[in-house]
Structure formats: C-alpha cells, structure tokens
Structure 1
C-alpha cells in the first residue's frame, strides 16, 4: 500500500513543549470552520491522570522522566509502576466523541429577570415624591413595562446567539463526521495538545481507491534508555530486588511498550475522528548521536484491528504485523534500528526535523534579543 505520508496542504508543523504540533494556516479556515476547535471535546483534568484514564495515556514526556528518575534512584517500586504503565497504555478507555448538545435555554432566568425589574423600579421611583401614591404606582407600572420589554429583547438576542452557535456546532460536527481533512487535523491536534501528547496529525483524507477515511500520525517515542538495564525481579527467597536484564529481555519490553502506545494512540484517534477507518502511524525517535530523528516503524492500523482484538493481549505482535515498511532488527538481541531509506518516509521526517530546528533557532534569537 502506498501510504500518503505527507503534511497536508494548508498545514505546517511547529515545535511545542510536548513534541510537534500541526497548525492550520488561516487561509484554509472558512467562517465557522476548523479554526474553532473542540467539537464535543471533553476537557482533560488532573483526575484523568489520577484514575489512569484519558490524558495519562499520552504523557510520554512525564513517563520518560519518571523512568529515568527511578533508574537513577534504583527505585524498585517506581520502576514497576512506570514500566507497568508503559506496557498497559492500550488498556485506557477513550469514549467515542459525540455530537455536543446545544439545546440550552434561550430565555432569561427568572432570577435575572426579577433583578432587572427591581433595578428599573429603583431608577423610576426616586423621581416621584413618596407622598404621591398614584404617581408612584404609575411609575412602578411603567418601570415594570419597560423592564419587560427589555427582557423580551434580551430573550430574542439570546435566542439568535444560541441558534447561531448551534449552527456553527452543527457545521463543525458534520465536517468531522464527513472527515473533512482540516477539521479532522484541527480536532486531533486540540486533543493531543490537551493530553500533552507526543503525537501530531500531519494528514487526513480518503484513499482514492477504497474511499476509506485515513489519518496520518507521527509519534515521537523515547529511545531504548526508557527501559532500565536492571529491572524488577525476585531473590531466591522471593524478596523483591533489581536484577540485570538480558539485552533480549530489554528489547522485548521496549517493543511491547511501543506497541502499547501505538494502540493507545489509534484508540484515541478513532474516538475523536469518528469517521476514521485507517490510522497510518510513523514512529520516530532521536538517534543515539542526539541529532535529528530516525523512523523506526511505519504501519497502518485499522479501526477493526483495534476494536475487535482481545483487550488484554500484547499489542506488539499486532503492531509489527501491521507494518507496511519492513521493521528492522539487528544482532542476536534483536535491537530495533532505523528503517531502510524510503523517500516518502524521509521526506516526512525531514519536515519534522525542520520544525524542531526552527524552534531551537527561535529560542536562540529570543535569547539574543533579551
């Protein structure tokens, strides 16, 4: 399959604290178009990370930091916790995005209505002597009439605004449900940013031959160092201890972690981009030399692959089987290495590297200006 590995027209990449971000150019945004994000979005909160759902699954930067801290401190329980999380991200629940309910009340609440009437009455009565009861009664009736007219005008204005917002939400939702590329990319980027994810959506559309809706996502994953050389084990007496892992054990755990994250990413994508059939994944990492990025996996996972598989099964075999560019392993320990040179993959990675370098240059220029 010839994957459309590209940055979509009207989309550019920029660097952020958690990774790369796709930005929709203003020229591609229509009135009420994908510039207004968050169709049916659920805000992320600290509770998501606390209960192990939602945002937790994407915070690779935090997991990598915790893994390195546990390794340096030789923290047995810390390593168990972070490595358990790395290999179980695909178990997280990602509820399907639903069309937001825009049926809000268009009438002014009774409390606010009564407050306006009181204000109108207080404004009218001081002008009439307290000894002129008939005049005060007339002023009160007039104030109530004016307040009622004002409230009715507010009700009409609120109704118009509510209907306009509902129409905008409907347009956005239909664009998302119809898999309009810029809307899909903008919604996924809003989701990734809210989850502090190391993923970015660089393309969306439909395959010309099959009409299946697809998205292309780049995942920036840590190097093998995220898996400790010494891991949780048990002594002959059954007491917990750290033991040295073989290179094969370490590589297998690393591959399992990548598989788990890949499945978690696809589950998040299909929960937001509700019409998506296929998710093209490009996994990149910083090479040992510390410069640029190297692609280590390119594959396609379908909605059927993710939703019909046994939930508790290891994600690595499925992810490896879905590779559309041969995944490369070297040596007896099967070290995961960079893919063979492929023009389409290298072109996409080059765009990502360029965005990261632009961010570094901006930081240097800002420092010089200060």
Structure 2
C-alpha cells in the first residue's frame, strides 16, 4: 500500500503527494478541479455525495501513430487530447460556482413570491372520513401469543407445564380474540364520533374548534402564523377567522438578483433599494394570500380571513406592517398564476400597508383605535393573556 500525504497551501488549493505522483486540487467543493498525476478531473460535491468527471481525451497511446496519421483538432484548433490549463480550469470552477449562486438566489426569490400559488385541500377531505371497521385477528395467532407468554421462562424440559399451557392457550384463544376485536371496534367508533363532532363544530363555526383546527394547519408554515380568533361579526354577519403572521424584515430579500451577461452567461446584479422594497412587499403579500387561503380551507364555514402581519422591530417587540380582510368569494375560482398578490391584498376590505419615500419602503402602521390593525392586535393580546 502506497503512502499518501495531503496538505493545504492556500485557500481553495490543496496538494496531495503519493507514490503515483503529486496532484493539486483547486477551487471550492462545489466545483473543484484536480490536476497533476493522472487525468485531469473536475468534481462537484454537496453533503456526503461527490461526483467526479474526467476532462480531456484519453491518454496518449504508447505506440507510434501509423502512416498517414494526422492529429484531430478541436473546434478551437488545438489538438483534441490537450488538457486545459490551470487558469482555464480555475475559470471553469468560478463559472460553475457563480452559476450555483445565481440558481440559489433564484430559488429564494421563487420561494418568497410564489406561496400564494399553493392549493390547500378543504377540511371535508381531511376531517369528514368514515373509518374502516378493523378485522378480527385470527384465533390461531392469538393462541400462539398466549402460549408464548405463558411459557416464557419455562424450561423446555418441563413438558407437563408446557402441555398445560398449550391446553390453556387453546381454551382461552377464542374468547380473547373476540374481546380484543370488540375493543378495537369500540375505539374506532369513538374516534369516528370525535371526527364527526369536530366536523359539525367546524360547520357551525364554533370558535374553539376553528381556532384549534386552523392553528394546527399553520404549524408547518414558512412564516410563524397563529390563529388568534374566530367568530361572527354582529354588524355585517360575516363569519371570520383571524390570523397573525410574524414576518421577517427586508433582509429576507437577497441584495442581488439573477441576470445574464451580454454573452448569455448567468450572473448577479446589485438590486436597487426600490427593487428590494418592491420584492419585499410582493413576498409579504404572497404570504398573506397563502395564509388566508389555508385558513378558509380549514374553517369551512368562515366567509373571510382577517390577517395581521407583524415583524420584529429590533427592540424586542413587534410592529404591524399589514392588516386586511380577504373574503372567500374574492379568493374563489381565481387563476392564481395571473394574480398580482400585492394588488390583491391591497384591494382587500380594510386593507392597510404604509409605504414611504421614493424607494417605497414598507414601514410600520399607526396603532390608533380606528386603524385596521387595532381589533386584530387586541384579539391577539387576549389570546396570549388567556
């Protein structure tokens, strides 16, 4: 077995010496080039997986070319078997790394602005279900189980005791099988009854049931969302469900945006403050629409979703940045691929969002008693107090 020694000589540059020769690795793990002894290769790794690909042609044949041989050339005019230089490999690694950065930022942008495209199944598919009656276990399997338990710790040489246990298990098995089956049937019936009661409470818009069901649905949301209230408006008669979203600040939006060079290669461009604020407002609106859709999908009897968005203010508290009521009839039957989420949330009932200055920055709303957020903040406070 040959000896191999590796060491790092500079950031992104590693050298390994072995009995086969000296080999140098250049670049980050996502796009690393290996040159030196052996064939030149480029590898790409993420997590525990690494993929390695050889670059250039096969090794040159040891025998001389036959008469009339002429070296084929590549499109650039160099012999096909010639390996790229270290500078070329470094440029390829930088290009691969930049392409990955562009793709990552594009993914972040999509995840921020396309939440409103999500479809949420109605509660009828999740709650109103008929549970199957469990099948009884076989008498023989129960007999074997009883015999195994009765003979646990009994020596195989105590045949009389084991014979008695076998007879006892055979006698008990039919009754035990029936008893277990009856227990499972009763358990299933109780579970079915609870499901039916929960479904009826949702249809009746019972506040406690609605809040619990909607809050359970919010548990896996990207932004921290909480259902804080549900009920009926004594003035309008609307049945509402109220949600509070804790959203991040402007740092959610990447400072650069995906673009291409004049030659068509992927690159990144610095966003202007106006562009960042516009994308932030759209992302916030997309989250509002998705949250309202999910709340109304669970609260089947609700006619509107009241949504408040708050964000950390940097001083250990939060500040309101959006409030509005999105009605079920407005959200129903839309082609969401053609919907501007920001325009939709700003057209909602009692919608309020303050954008300031030439860059249209989203700033905190006022908290006067006549503001759109006042009632929702009070409901939120009552929930936390209780």
TM range (shorter): 0.5 to 0.7
- Residue 274 of structure 2 is aligned to residue 248 of structure 1: yes
Structure 1, unmatched stretches of 5+, are 1-72, 131-135, 359-370
- State the match for 1:32 in structure 2: none
- State the match for 1:93 in structure 2: 119
Measured after TM superposition, the shift of residue 84 of structure 1 is 1.4
Query: Over residues 192-217 of structure 1, what are the superposed CA-to-partner deviations in whole Å (9 max), with x where a residue is unaligned?
Result: 22446411111001222343321110
Query: Over residues 128-177 of structure 1, what are the superposed CA-to-partner deviations in whole Å (9 max), with x where a residue is unaligned?
Result: 998xxxxx9xx95x864532122222222222222222112211121122
Query: Would the aligned equivalents of 1:294 and 1:349 in 2 still touch at CA under 8 Å?
Result: no
Seen in structure 2, the aligned counterparts of structure 1 residues 244 and 350 have a Cα distance that, compared at 3 Å, is farther
Measured after TM superposition, the shift of residue 184 of structure 1 is 0.9
Larger mean CA deviation between 179-188 and 347-356 belongs to 347-356
How far apart, CA to CA, are the structure 1 residues paired with 2:145 and 2:316? 67
- State the match for 2:183 in structure 1: 157
Which of these residues, 324, 327, 331, is aligned with residue 302 of structure 1? Answer: 327
- State the match for 2:131 in structure 1: 103
Number of residue pairs matched? Answer: 274
SS of the residue corresponding to residue 350 of structure 2 reads coil
Write out aligned runs for 1:97-246 (5 A): 97=123, 98=125, 99-110=127-138, 113-119=139-145, 127=160, 144-195=170-221, 197-246=223-272
How far apart, CA to CA, are the structure 2 residues paired with 1:255 and 1:245? 15
How far apart, CA to CA, are the structure 2 residues paired with 1:243 and 1:118? 72
Query: Would the aligned equivalents of 2:240 and 2:304 in 1 still touch at CA under 8 Å?
Result: yes
Measured after TM superposition, the shift of residue 299 of structure 1 is 0.4
Structure 2, unmatched stretches of 5+, are 1-98, 152-157
Measured after TM superposition, the shift of residue 284 of structure 1 is 1.0
Which of these residues, 331, 342, 347, is aligned with residue 357 of structure 2? Answer: 331
Seen in structure 2, the aligned counterparts of structure 1 residues 210 and 349 have a Cα distance that, compared at 3 Å, is closer
Query: Would the aligned equivalents of 2:308 and 2:376 in 1 still touch at CA under 8 Å?
Result: no
SS of the residue corresponding to residue 222 of structure 1 reads coil
SS of the residue corresponding to residue 359 of structure 2 reads coil
Larger mean CA deviation between 77-86 and 346-355 belongs to 346-355
Higher RCO (CA 8 Å, separation ≥ 6 residues)? 1
SS of the residue corresponding to residue 243 of structure 2 reads strand
Query: Would the aligned equivalents of 2:137 and 2:181 in 1 still touch at CA under 8 Å?
Result: no
**Who wins on radius of gyration, i.e. which is larger?**
2
How far apart, CA to CA, are the structure 2 residues paired with 1:229 and 1:147? 71
Query: Over residues 254-281 of structure 1, what are the superposed CA-to-partner deviations in whole Å (9 max), with x where a residue is unaligned?
Result: 1111111111111211222222210001
TM-score (norm 1): 0.65
TM-score (norm 2): 0.62
How far apart, CA to CA, are the structure 1 residues paired with 2:237 and 2:380? 28
Query: Would the aligned equivalents of 1:192 and 1:199 in 2 still touch at CA under 8 Å?
Result: yes
Measured after TM superposition, the shift of residue 126 of structure 1 is 5.5
Q: Which has the higher helix share?
A: 1
